Amino acid sequence: MKRREFIALAGGAAATSLSAWPLAARAQQAGKLPTIGFLGANSQSLQREWTAAFVQRLRELGWIEGRSVAIEYRWAETRFERSPEFIAEFVRLKVDVIVTHGTANVIAAKQGTSVIPIVFAAVPDPLGNNLVASLARPGGNATGLSNQAPDVAGKRLELLREVVPALSRLVILVNSDSALTAAETQETQAAARTLGLEVATFEIRRAEDIAGAFEAFKERVDALYVVADPLMTTNRVRINTLALAARLPTVSLIKEYVDAGALMSYGPSLTDQFRRAAAFVDKILRGAKPADIPVEQPTKFDLVVNMTTAKAIGLKISETFLVRADEVIE
């Protein structure tokens, strides 16, 4: 064999071998730790529990922050116009995988890179928002977990109707600027009509709109459905304080709203979803391609009830209903 041919073959073999190595091995070979770019949709303090669950699960899988993996944290704080610059920074840093949540952040990540793997910890409708080609085979560079918020909107209303039998007028509070709320809003409207409810939808775009919305609807409705998104989550205490003052029972997707004073929630645990997202990162750092890792859907939906709120608004909830709850906050 001629020397030139041997060099070409050897070079090709090296390239093939390099592409087959896990990302972590390549990063360590290059003298740096494999790096995760973590973009939170909210503030660092607000989602501390979710982030801690993610980091703890990474540790259990052998990825210890600062020792065997590095994590670059950025926080959108619901200002998603900043998300593209955070993603661009991750690209410049050459992170090995991007972890984020919220449809707006995932869209920014997909627009910012078609090469770096993306793991989304929680989005309502990854297929409907064109984040993946299919749930079983996502294709592209993104995969992760769906929280199926639109799919169980009707169930939330049925549960609300059980504890508020006289419910006839419902208001839906939604962030109209959020890319993730349209499907859930539509499903909630349809479910309300099926139950024979009169339904009105109030749209907000910023925290300053919340008080005005309550002034407009609080005397005209029997209950409030909050379409969960980072803006609502950030302002959940404000929303529930106003709802309590108006003696309005409220329902939403996630437990954190009930912790802040909402009457009830029905949906998957976000803490658990962030924990499960770490397993996706583990697979990718060990060489798996996001295109081949199926999107996970929740296997459990938790019913959480705040009895302190129920008593404060003069609502009696039967023991039969409370026995079905996964958690009752006294």
Calculate the CA dihedral of residues 257, 103, 201, 224 and round it to 10 degrees.
Answer: -10
Model confidence pLDDT, tens digit, residues 32-62: 899 999 999 999 999 999 999 999 999 999 9
Give domain status of residue 45, yes or no.
yes
Identify whether residues 158 and 306 lie together within a single domain.
yes
Q: Are residues 8 and 135 in the same domain?
A: yes
pLDDT at 31: 57
- Mark whether 286 and 308 lie in a shared domain: no
Contact of 143 with 151, CB cutoff 8 Å: no
- Helix, strand, coil % in the chain, rounded to nearest 5: 45, 20, 35
Q: What is the pLDDT of residue 132?
A: 96
Whether the predicted pLDDT of 20 surpasses 60: no
Query: Based on the domain organization, do 157 and 86 belong to the same domain?
Result: no
Residue 223 domain-assigned (yes or no): yes
CATH number, domain at 189? Answer: 3.40.50.2300
Q: Are residues 102 and 233 in the same domain?
A: no
> Is 297 a domain residue?
no
Residues 57 and 175 in one domain: no
Q: What range does the domain containing 306 cover? A: 153-267+302-329
Identify whether residues 132 and 238 lie together within a single domain: no
* Domain count of the fold of the chain: 2
Q: Which residue has the higher pLDDT, 3 or 74?
A: 74
Is residue 201 domain-shared with residue 56, that is, in the same domain?
A: no
What is the separation, in whole angstroms, between the first and last Cα of the chain? 80
Residues 184 and 312 in one domain: yes
Q: CA–CA separation, 232 vs 92, rounded Å?
A: 32
Residue bearing the bigger pLDDT, 63 or 124: 63
Contact (CB, 8 A) for 257 and 238: no
Residues 128 and 42 in one domain: yes
pLDDT tens for 49-101 read 999 999 999 999 999 999 999 999 999 999 999 999 999 999 999 999 999 99
pLDDT digits (tens, 9 = 90+) for 153-165: 999 999 999 999 9
User: What is the pLDDT confidence band of residue 166, given thresholds at 50, 70 and 90?
Assistant: very high
Q: Answer yes or no: do 141 and 26 share one domain.
A: yes
CA distance 97 to 147: 21
